[in-house]
Chains A and B, each alone.
Chain A
Amino acid sequence: MFLKVAWLVMRKDLTVEVRSREIVYTTVFFAVACVLVFAFALVKEGRPLEDAAAGIMWISVAFAGTLALGRTFERERHSETLRALMLAPVSRPAIYVGKLLGIVLLLLIVEAVLVPLVGLLFHAPIWNRPLLLIALLVSGTVGFSAVGTLFAAMLVRARSRDVMLPILLYPITIPVIIAGVRGTAALFEPVPAVDLAQMWLALLAFFDVVFVTLSLWTFEPLMTE
C-alpha cells in the first residue's frame, strides 16, 4: 500500500511533467547557464582551475535543484492540489516518498545532460570510474532532494517561499555539497583516488539514511495544519 501510493504520486507528477516538459526544459537550461557563468569565473588562460569541474557540476545541480523544487510545489499550489493530496486517506509519508522520487528522477535527467557537458567543457575524465561517479551523483541527489522536498512542501503555505527555500536548504545540505564535490574531484584526478571517493560516498549514504528517516518522521506533524 505504502509503495503503491508513493508510486501513484510519482506517476502523477511525471505525467504532468511529460505533458508540459516545463520543469525539465527550464531546469536543464538553467543548469547549463550556471555552468557558463562559472566558466567565466573559474577558467584561466583557457584552462579550468584545479577541481573546478567537480565544483561547477555540483553547484549547478544544487541551484537547478532548488529551481525544480520550487516549480514542482508551485504547481501543487495551483487549485490547492497539495491540500487535496493531504486529504487523501493514505499515509502521509507515502506522499512524501512519491514527491521525493519524482524530484530525484527529474534531477537525474538534468544531471544526465549536465555531467557529460561539464566533462566536455572542462576536460574532466568522467569515464574514469563511471559507476562510482553515478553512485555519488545518485546518493548526493537523494540527500539534497530529501531535505528539499520536505522544506518545499512545508513552504507551500508560507509567504516569500521563493526566498525561504534556498535560505533553509543550503545551510542544511552543505555536507552533501562538500561530499559530492570532494568525492567527484577525487575521481577526476589523473589517477583516481578511489578509496577517498568511496569514503565520501559512504558519508553521502549515511546522510541519505538519516535525513530521509528524519523527513519521514517529521512530514506528518509538519503538514498538519
Chain B
Amino acid sequence: MKKGYPLFVLLAVVLFSVAPIMVARAPYEATMGLVQKIFYYHVPSAMVMFLSAFICGIASAVYLFKARPEADRIAAAAAELTVVFGLIVLVTGPLWARKAWGVWWQWDARLTSTLLMWMIFVAYLLVRRFGGPGAEKLGAAMAVFGMANVPFVYVSVNIWRTIHPTTRVVPTLSPGMRGPFWFCVIAFMLLFGLLLAVRARLEQRRADVEHLYLIAGEE
C-alpha cells in the first residue's frame, strides 16, 4: 500500500482535473440547464458519504465486540470523512434546490434523513474529541446505534411527501450524462479510499508514538 500512494495520488489528481472538462462537455438538462451540473458532484459525494458511514458502523461494531484497535482507527477515519463528504452534500444540495424547487431547504425524507445521519457522525466526532478517557467506546456505540437508526429515520420521515429524485434516476440518465457521472463517481471513490488510508495510518502512527512514550517513561 505504501508504495502505491504516489501512484494513486497522481491518478486522483488526473481524475479531478479531467472531471470539470467532462462535466462541462456533458449535455444540458432540458428544464434545469446549467444548475443541473451540480449533480456530478452532489450525487458522488452522497454515495461516498453513505459508504463511509457504513464502513464506520461496521468498523465500530468490530471494535466494540472484538476490541481490535485497528478497527477503531478505521472507524475514526471513516467518521471524519462522512462528515466532510456530508458537508459537500449538504452545501451543494441547497444550492441546487434553490434553483430547482425555489427554496433552499425542503423538509423531505431524503434531506431530513441525510441531515440526521450527518448529525449522528458529528456527534460521534464530538464525543471522541471531548468525551475524555474511554471516548472511543462511546463513539463506537454511537456509530453502531446510528447505523441501526438509519432505516427508522428513513421510514419515519418518508411519510412526508418526497420530492427529491430517487436513485432510480441514475439508470435513466441520457448517455451523454452517464459517462461524466460515473467518471465523477470513480474519482470521488478513489479520493475517499486514499483519504481513508492516509487518515487511518496517521491514527496508527499516533498510537505508535504514544506507545513509545509509555515505554520511554517506564525506563
Question: What is the interface of chain B, defined by CB distance below 8 A to chain A?
Answer: 64-65, 67, 116, 119-120, 123, 126-127, 130-135, 137-138, 141-142, 144-146, 148-149, 152-153, 155-157, 159
Interface size grouping (class) on chain A: 20 to 34
> Which of chain B's residues have a CB closer than 8 A to the CB of A158?
127, 131-135, 138
**In the complex, are the beta carbons of B123 and A218 less than 8 A apart?**
no
**In the complex, are the beta carbons of A211 and B137 less than 8 A apart?**
no
Q: Secondary structure at chain B's binding surface: helix, strand, loop or mixed?
A: helix
Answer whether residue A157 sits at the interface, using C-beta atoms and an 8 A cutoff: yes
Query: Which residue of chain B has the shortest Cβ distance to A179 in the bound complex?
Result: B156
| Bound complex: CA A164 to CA B129 (Å) | 11
| Bound complex: CA A211 to CA B126 (Å) | 22
| Bound complex: CA A154 to CA B135 (Å) | 9
Answer whether residue A142 sits at the interface, using C-beta atoms and an 8 A cutoff: no
**In the complex, are the beta carbons of A154 and B137 less than 8 A apart?**
yes
> Which of chain A's residues have a CB closer than 8 A to the CB of B116?
171, 174
The one of A157, A175, A221 in contact with B149, judged by C-beta atoms closer than 8 angstroms, is A175
**In the complex, are the beta carbons of A164 and B130 less than 8 A apart?**
yes
Answer whether residue A210 sits at the interface, using C-beta atoms and an 8 A cutoff: yes
Q: Give 21 CB contacts A-B under 8 Å.
A: A150-B141, A154-B138, A154-B141, A158-B131, A158-B138, A159-B131, A167-B126, A168-B142, A171-B116, A171-B120, A171-B123, A171-B149, A172-B146, A172-B149, A175-B152, A175-B153, A175-B155, A211-B145, A214-B144, A221-B67, A222-B137
> Which of chain A's residues have a CB closer than 8 A to the CB of B64?
218, 221-222
Among B64, B152, B157, max chain A CB count under 10 A is at B152
Answer whether residue A52 sits at the interface, using C-beta atoms and an 8 A cutoff: no
